[in-house]
Chains A and B, each alone.
Chain A
Amino acid sequence: MSRLVVLFAVMLLAPAAAVAQATVEAEQDAGDDVADQEIGARIGMRMGGRTTPGGFHLGGVFLYRLNDELWSDSLVAFAVGGGGAECFRDRGDNVLCDHGQLDGVAGGVHSGIRWVQPSKQGFVPYVRGTVGIELVNYSDDDVRGIAVPVVLGGGVRARVADRVSVSGEADLHIGFARLNRDMGVEPQAALIVKLGVDFAL
């Protein structure tokens, strides 16, 4: 648990700490053709299960360049799935859920770091790590709660126009959620595969 707290703190503070350095470097890179800020959209599929929502993934991204290789990566994301009531009380009166991979609804914000390979040609690979907070809801079971996921992922992107890039990403989403109905803390795990488009500001 303490490691998770430290990781959470590092991932939240690292972008802020690097902003000052990025400001200086941005001035030095005045002639660079890489923008310092980008916004983007993401669509894809999120596969969860049990008490982790999945379904259609929709997200909005804000990227802020910290230096040639690091970007601050912030995301607002939603997962909208289907499914019906899949929770029940076992004989010990504990609530158990066995939702499908594409069931439930989730929405939240994530913030972290993206490392981009220092190359400006063709397909550029990157890896990213974020920490977020999400609301989780399975309406048919009256199950809801708050999740704290760590997201580790990566992808490739390619510039397709002067200020437009497209990307393909895959994220592993792991963490825990505090749920109602006396379910307590439940693990969270999901895989997200998505396509994106980013616009340089």
Chain B
Amino acid sequence: MLILVFVVGCGVDADVSRTVGARCDTKDDCNERCLVDADDYPGGICSVSCMDVRDCPGDTACVDDEGGVCLFVCDSDADCEFMGPGWRCDSRDARPDSAGEVKVCRG
């Protein structure tokens, strides 16, 4: 199984913005969509829909969750500490299927 590892600019240095990364309660807090706290995204996180990594900005990857969303890539839990309590580095199916798995920050 292919595991994608993004060495450059893992989550620790990621830029949080209204596009990806900001805390949110509703989509009005974001440019496109809000993945809410109740769905295992502690504090909520702004994200964008994607079909593959080319749709994702900066240090994010396209994972096959919530219909395809961009999340910050990571190597270890330490890379997700900037997201706050409850976030960890987890392997998820990437989009498209041929991309295998990718490690991203989630709750």
Please list the residues of chain A having a beta carbon within 8 angstroms of any beta carbon in chain B.
85-93
Contact = CB atoms under 8 A, between A and B. Distances in A.
A85 B22 CA distance: 13
A88 B83 contact: no
Q: Which among B23, B24, B83 has the greatest number of chain A C-beta atoms within 10 A?
A: B23
13 contacts: A85-B18, A87-B18, A88-B16, A88-B17, A88-B22, A88-B23, A88-B24, A89-B29, A90-B16, A90-B22, A90-B23, A91-B16, A91-B82
B21 interface: yes
Contacts of A88: 16-18, 22-24, 29-30, 46
A86 B16 contact: no
Contact of B43 (A85, A86, A91): A91
Nearest to B23: A89
B67 interface: no
Contacts of A86: 18
Given A88-B16, A88-B29, A89-B22, 5 more contacts: A85-B28, A88-B24, A88-B46, A91-B43, A91-B83
